[in-house]
Amino acid sequence: MVEVDPAVCVLCGLCVGVCPPDAMRLTPTQLEVLPNCTECGWCVPYCPVGAIHGGRPIRGRTRRPEPA
Ligand code: SF4
Ligand code: SF4
**pLDDT of 68 strictly over 80:** no
Ligand 1 atom showing the smallest separation from residue 22 Cα: 8
**pLDDT of 65 strictly over 60:** no
pLDDT value of residue 58: 62
**pLDDT of 29 strictly over 60:** yes
Other beta carbons within 10 angstroms of residue 47's beta carbon come to: 21
- Pocket (CB within 6 angstroms of ligand 1): 2, 19-21, 23-24, 33, 37-43, 55
pLDDT value of residue 56: 78
Which structural domains are found in the chain, ordered by start?
1-59 (3.30.70.20)
**pLDDT of 16 strictly over 60:** yes
Positions of E strands within 1-68: 3-4, 24-26, 31-33, 52-53
Average pLDDT over residues 16-34: 96
State the distance from the centre of ligand 1 to the C-alpha of 43, rounded, in angstroms: 6
